[in-house]
């Protein structure tokens, strides 16, 4: 009798005792979310939409905001100019190389900070980040001093007699662009990996060694898979901005180190042709998003996180 | 799984990490261009604004804020010395453009600079698009000292839109220690003998000019076939080119570090390198040097018209002119300054006291909008073909 009565007695319709809490939560949800959404809509989505719209303008002549007849002639012209698409591919290739090298070099750093540094981790992390406090341009210029024909490296090589002519292949090419970008990105890349490694429960590592796993096996079968989300995060953190990078190639890239971002910059400044530059930017944006989505689908992160 | 809270000792560093990321991101993002305020330019076709009557405020009580969009290096007070001395309480702020296209793009986007500094080839665009306003030359006390040829550079449809300031040459600069035979032709910029040590200016119209001199093309009338030849020529040249230079300071540092020994150059870099002790020579190519004039224009609808006129007037002053000539070896539009130069090297090497010099050199013609779009696009394709 008691059980069936309990089942039969449904709660009254209309407001329930828990409604007040749920309603308040929903209100809080929107109150917290709306400012951020509005900010992103105005400062991220709107400019991108404006840029896509500008890519349909024929050229930059006449008053800037006067309505124009949309045209796809820039996109057609891109299809007819293989050199721009080739450059995009090359820049993406450089970006993949930079991201891979950076992640590879940042991993030991993050591993040490998260799992081996112990009480000194905080201090060492601050030391890792001190270069951040210098201007980005100065850090790039420093590489000019290192790699130039009369720079630090060449002076050492000439001084010790290892070479009798200074190496001119160190600066103003793709090599110098890659080296400089890796240097600039390593502290950034170490952080997500470190965050992932900190989430690894030390008890799991103890369990692994209790089950007779050697340190190398421990790393390969336990630590590395568990830190994979951080590694993948670090890779994309470096890859996506590097595709459109233009400051570093401008300073140390020379003629052969030109990247796609430099061409976009030129169309926006020297060539005074914003519509063409906008078209190039839209193409790069769409391509990068497509690549990122495909890559993330291919690498199923859940495989690493769940047991 | 176990306790996954972050260890307490890491909270402070993690907080610092977030701060550092934000700071680092801002620093990286704000790498080059100075901020530009966006306000759409007013509609074209307005008449010249009625100028206010000359102010009767004594010079040392003239105040105000003037913004000047100029090239790197010209913000040094040496190059507006007369204005600084005459109006010590007026403030001048500088914005920078890296090239004529850059300055044009900024002014089109609504940059609120009161005064800007374009060069020959690009001046007409500002007049056509209603960005520059007519200048009342009766308010410029130094106007009579400017030779006729130079005055004409800033004249369109019989009206004076811009005031000339500096002028000079473009030629081939080379390091005499590393280049043993003197250079006598523009073709040196494409010579495989200097592979890996050439530096060309990063500019499409500049590249078309050089090719026109080498092949004898008519710069004002380049056909699509000629443009295709020019494009291929510069794609081949890019393999010999070390790096393109954007501003004179880049060029100077490349010569100082030995990365460049032959370059397309203005004589400002020549003067600076000589002063720094680098053994360089400025060629006199058989095809002739190129010459150009820089002008100052006033933005239409500026609220600081009076101050802008004073600034431009004082730019033609003697102290400013003398600094320009002695530091950069550039010519100055004030003929009195030029006649007063005593340095024989300067007088001979650059004929800078000759007021008819513009008629004797390859003076840069005005670009049309079609040429601008086609030639800059050509150049970007050259750069993308690496």
Q: Which CATH number fits domain B170-291+367-384: 3.40.50.720, 3.90.1580.10, 3.30.420.10, 3.40.190.10?
A: 3.40.190.10
Report the half-sphere exposure of A225 (CA within 13 A, side-chain side). 14
**pLDDT at residue A303 in the model:** 60
**Quick one: tokens of A87?**
């450059």
A59/B369 CB distance under 8 A = yes
3-state class (DSSP) for residue B331: strand
Is residue A258 within 8 A of residue A177, CB to CB? The reply is: no
CA–CA min distance B54, chain A (Å): 32
Length, in residues, of chain B? 386
B109/A64 CB distance under 8 A = yes
Confirm whether A216 is domain-assigned: yes
**pLDDT at residue B54 in the model:** 54
Which residue of A126, A204, A262 is in closest CB contact with B383? A262
**pLDDT at residue A239 in the model:** 94
B258/A150 CB distance under 8 A = yes
∠ at Cα A215 (A211, A217), nearest 5°? 70
Distance from C-alpha of B193 to C-alpha of B188, rounded to nearest angstrom: 9
Total structural domains in chain A?
A: 1
Range of the domain at A194: 101-111+172-305
Q: Which residues of A touch B31 (CB under 8 A)?
A: 136-137, 247
Which residue of A61, A168, A258 is in closest CB contact with B386? A258
Which residues, given as ranges, of chain A have pLDDT below 70? Answer: 1-21, 300-307
CA–CA min distance A200, chain B (Å): 8
Domain B170-291+367-384 in the same topology as domain B59-167+292-363 = yes
What CATH superfamily is the domain B59-167+292-363? Periplasmic binding protein-like II (3.40.190.10)
Task: Say whether residue A222 is in contact with chain B using an 8 A CB cutoff.
Answer: no
**Quick one: tokens of B100?**
């004529």
User: What's this model's pTM, rounded to 2 decimal places?
Assistant: 0.80
B17 → chain A, closest CA residue = A129
Element spanning B164, H or E: strand B162-175
Give which of A58, A74, A84, A132 to mutate to test B binding, by max B Cβ within 10 Å. A132
Q: Which residues of B touch A119 (CB under 8 A)?
A: 9
Q: From the first residue on, what is the mean pLDDT of each consecutive set of 10 residues in chain B (386 residues)?
A: 45 53 46 36 40 64 91 91 92 90 87 94 90 92 91 90 92 93 94 94 93 92 94 95 89 90 92 90 88 93 92 94 89 89 77 71 86 92 90
3-state class (DSSP) for residue B312: helix
Q: What is the ipTM of this complex?
A: 0.80
Confirm whether A288 is domain-assigned: yes
A132 → chain B, closest CA residue = B24
Task: Say whether residue A136 is in contact with chain B using an 8 A CB cutoff.
Answer: yes
B16/A129 CB distance under 8 A = yes
Confirm whether A130 is domain-assigned: no
**pLDDT at residue B50 in the model:** 45
Is residue A222 within 8 A of residue A210, CB to CB? The reply is: no
Task: Say whether residue B43 is in contact with chain A using an 8 A CB cutoff.
Answer: yes
Q: Which residues of A touch B6 (CB under 8 A)?
A: 198
Q: 3-state SS of chain A: helix, strand, coil percent to 5?
A: 75, 0, 25
Domain boundaries, chain B: 59-167+292-363, 170-291+367-384
Q: Which residues contact B161 (CB under 8 A, 6 or more apart)?
A: B123, B126, B127, B132, B133, B134, B135, B154, B155, B297
B383/A255 CB distance under 8 A = yes
**pLDDT at residue A304 in the model:** 56
CATH number at residue A249: 1.10.3720.10
Is residue B174 within 8 A of residue B283, CB to CB? The reply is: yes
Inter-axis angle of helices A274-298 and A73-80, to 10 degrees? 70
Is residue A199 within 8 A of residue B4, CB to CB? The reply is: yes
Inter-axis angle of helices A82-111 and A174-198, to 10 degrees? 40
Q: Which residues of B touch A273 (CB under 8 A)?
A: 373, 376-377
How distant is the alpha carbon of residue B197 from its chain centre?
24
Distance from C-alpha of A209 to C-alpha of A111, rounded to nearest angstrom: 18
Give which of B1, B17, B119 to mutate to test A binding, by max A Cβ within 10 Å. B17
**pLDDT at residue B380 in the model:** 93
Which residue of B23, B129, B377 is in closest CB contact with A132? B23
**pLDDT at residue B2 in the model:** 39
């Amino acid at each position: 009798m008691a059980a069936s009565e309990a089942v039969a007695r449904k709660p009254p319709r209309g407001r329930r005792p828990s409604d007040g809490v749920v309603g308040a939560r929903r209100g809080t949800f929107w109150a917290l979310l709306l400012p951020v959404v509005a900010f992103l809509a105005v400062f991220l989505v709107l400019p991108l939409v404006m840029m896509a719209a500008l890519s349909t303008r024929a050229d930059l002549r006449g008053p800037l905001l006067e309505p124009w007849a949309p045209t796809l002639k820039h996109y057609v012209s891109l299809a007819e100019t293989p050199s721009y698409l080739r450059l995009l591919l090359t820049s993406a290739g450089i970006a993949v190389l930079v991201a891979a090298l950076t992640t590879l070099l940042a991993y030991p750093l993050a591993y040490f900070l998260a799992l081996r540094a112990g009480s000194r981790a905080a201090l060492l992390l601050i030391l890792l980040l001190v270069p951040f406090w210098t201007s980005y341009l100065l850090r790039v210029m420093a590489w000019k001093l290192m790699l130039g024909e009369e720079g630090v490296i060449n002076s050492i090589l000439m001084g010790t007699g290892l070479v009798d002519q200074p190496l001119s292949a160190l600066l103003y090419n793709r090599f110098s662009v890659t080296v400089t970008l890796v240097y600039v990105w390593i502290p950034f890349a170490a952080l997500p990996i470190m965050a992932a490694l900190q989430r690894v429960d030390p008890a799991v590592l103890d369990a692994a060694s209790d089950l007779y796993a050697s340190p190398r096996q421990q790393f390969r079968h336990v630590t590395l898979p568990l830190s994979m989300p951080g590694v993948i995060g670090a890779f994309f953190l470096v890859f996506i901005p590097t595709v459109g990078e233009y400051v570093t190639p401008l300073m140390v890239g020379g003629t052969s180190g030109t990247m796609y971002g430099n061409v976009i910059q030129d169309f926006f400044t020297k060539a005074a042709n914003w519509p063409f530059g906008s078209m190039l930017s839209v193409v790069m944006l769409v391509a990068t998003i497509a690549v990122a989505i495909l890559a993330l689908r291919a690498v199923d992160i859940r495989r690493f996180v769940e047991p | 799984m176990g306790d996954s809270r972050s260890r307490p000792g890491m909270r402070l560093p993690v907080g610092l990490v977030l701060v550092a990321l934000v700071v680092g991101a801002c620093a990286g993002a704000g790498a080059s261009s100075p901020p530009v305020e966006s306000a759409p330019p007013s509609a074209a076709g307005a008449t010249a604004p009625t100028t206010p009557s000359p102010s009767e405020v004594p010079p040392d009580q003239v105040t105000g804020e003037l913004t000047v969009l100029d090239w790197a290096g010209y913000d040094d007070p040496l190059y507006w010395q007369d204005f600084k001395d005459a109006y010590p309480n007026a403030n001048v702020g500088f914005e920078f453009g890296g090239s004529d296209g850059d300055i044009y793009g900024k002014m089109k986007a609504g940059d609120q600079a009161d005064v800007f500094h374009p060069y020959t080839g690009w001046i007409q665009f500002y007049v056509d698009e209603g960005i520059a306003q007519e200048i009342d030359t009766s308010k410029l006390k130094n106007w009579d000292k400017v030779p006729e040829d130079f005055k004409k550079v800033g004249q369109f449809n019989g009206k004076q839109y811009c005031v000339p300031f500096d002028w000079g040459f473009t030629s081939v600069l080379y390091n005499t220690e590393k280049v043993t035979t003197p250079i006598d032709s523009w073709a040196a910029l494409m010579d495989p003998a200097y592979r890996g040590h050439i530096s060309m200016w990063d500019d499409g119209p500049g590249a078309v000019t050089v090719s026109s001199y080498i092949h004898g093309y008519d710069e004002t009338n380049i056909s699509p076939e000629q443009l295709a030849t020019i494009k291929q020529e510069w794609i081949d040249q890019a393999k010999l080119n070390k790096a393109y230079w954007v501003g004179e300071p880049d060029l100077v540092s490349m010569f100082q570090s030995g990365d460049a020994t032959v370059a397309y150059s203005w004589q400002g870099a020549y003067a600076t390198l000589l002063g720094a002790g680098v053994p360089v020579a400025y060629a006199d190519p058989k095809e002739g040097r190129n010459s150009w004039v820089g002008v100052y224009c006033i933005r239409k609808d500026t609220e600081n018209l009076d101050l802008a006129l004073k600034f431009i007037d004082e730019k033609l002053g003697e102290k400013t002119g003398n600094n320009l000539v002695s530091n950069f070896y550039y010519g100055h539009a004030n003929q009195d300054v030029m006649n007063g130069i005593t340095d024989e090297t300067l007088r001979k090497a650059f004929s800078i006291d000759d007021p008819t010099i513009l008629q004797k050199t390859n003076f840069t013609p005005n670009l049309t909008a079609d040429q601008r779009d086609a030639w800059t696009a050509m150049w970007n394709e050259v750069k993308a073909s690496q």
